[in-house]
Amino acid sequence: MFEYTLKRSRRRKTVAIKVHQQAVTVYAPIGVAKKELESWLLSKTDWINVQITKQSQQLDTRQYPLKNNRVVVFDDVVQLTFAVSNRSHWLLVKNQPVTTLQLSISGRVKHQQLMYQTLLETFLHEQLESYIEMRVNDYCLKMAEALPSSIRIQTYKRRWGSCNRRRELTFNLLLVSAPQYIIDYVIVHELAHLKYLNHSAPFWLRVSEFYPNYKQATKWLKQHGSSLQWVFD
Ligand SMILES: [Zn+2]
C-alpha cells in the first residue's frame, strides 16, 4: 500500500486521485468509509505506480551538484576523488579516518562531469542494492515470509519504498545515505505489506513485532528524510 493524503469534502460526490510530484492525494466525499476507500485505492495501485514512475523519470537526478566532493553512504562520509583512466570504474578505499571513493573515467569521454555523476550513481545503487538484498533475506527468514518476486531501486521524491500485489518491492535510492537501522525499518515495513496491503492495525502489529522501534524510525525519516541527498555542502 502506498502513502497518501486524504482530503474529504462535503461538496464532493465522487472519489478522485491526483498524483503530483510523486505525492498521492485522494479526494473523497465525507461519507465514504476508510476501509471501502482503501480497497478501491488498491485496485488503482498499478495506475498510481505508473504515474509515479513517469514523474520520477522526469526528475533530473544529475542536477545534484558535487559540492565539496563528499557523499554520505550509510551515514558515513565518503570523500570523492576523480581520475582519468583507460576505462571507467570506481574504487572504494577504506582508510582511517576518511573513506575515499575514486571515480575513474575514460579520457575520451565528452561530458566528463555527467560521466562522474553516472558512475557515482551506479556505485550508490550497488551499495544500497546489496545491503537491501541481504537484509530482505534475513528478515524474510525471521518473518517466515516467502521472498519478494523482485527488488528494484529507484529515485523517488516522496516515498521510501513500495510493495504491490505481485510482491514487487521498490526502494528509494536516497536511502543509501541513511543509517542502516533506518533502511531496516523501511525493509520491514515493505515486507509487512506482503501480508497486509494496507496500514491497518494488524499491519502495524506485524511491523512492531519485527521492528519494535518503528515509531522512532518513522520520526527519523520525517525529520531527516528531506535532507537525504548524496552530496551536501
Ligand atoms: Zn506502507
Pure H helices in 94-143: 112-143
Q: 162 CA distance to ligand 1 centroid (A)?
A: 7
Q: 109 CA distance to ligand 1 centroid (A)?
A: 42
Q: 193 CA distance to ligand 1 centroid (A)?
A: 7
pLDDT of residue 66: 53
Q: 79 CA distance to ligand 1 centroid (A)?
A: 34
Position 229 confidence tier, pLDDT thresholds 50, 70, 90: low
Q: Identify the structural domains of the chain with CATH numbers, from first to last.
A: 5-58 (no CATH), 61-227 (3.30.2010.10)
Q: 196 CA distance to ligand 1 centroid (A)?
A: 9
Q: 192 CA distance to ligand 1 centroid (A)?
A: 8
Q: 126 CA distance to ligand 1 centroid (A)?
A: 24
The mean pLDDT value of the chain amounts to 86
Residue 159 contacts residue 172 (beta carbons within 8 Å): yes
pLDDT of residue 59: 44
Q: 177 CA distance to ligand 1 centroid (A)?
A: 20
| C-alpha cell belonging to residue 178 | 541513511
Q: 198 CA distance to ligand 1 centroid (A)?
A: 7
Q: 13 CA distance to ligand 1 centroid (A)?
A: 27
With vertex at residue 44, the alpha carbon angle to CA 40 and CA 50, rounded to the nearest 5 degrees, is 165
What DSSP letter does each residue of 2-13 carry, written as one string? ---EEEEESS--
Q: 1 CA distance to ligand 1 centroid (A)?
A: 5
Q: 6 CA distance to ligand 1 centroid (A)?
A: 15
The amino acid at residue 151 is: I
Convert the pLDDT of each residue in 157-204 to its tens digit.
778 999 999 999 999 999 999 999 999 999 999 999 999 999 999 999
Q: 54 CA distance to ligand 1 centroid (A)?
A: 20
Convert the pLDDT of each residue in 33-83 to its tens digit.
888 888 888 888 888 877 777 776 554 444 444 556 888 899 788 888 888
Q: 190 CA distance to ligand 1 centroid (A)?
A: 6
The amino acid at residue 167 is: R
Longest dimension (CA), the chain: 66
The sign of the dihedral angle between the CA atoms of 40, 43, 49, 54 is negative
pLDDT of residue 68: 66
User: Could you tell me whether strands 99-106 and 76-85 are parallel, antiparallel, or unpaired per DSSP bridges?
Assistant: parallel
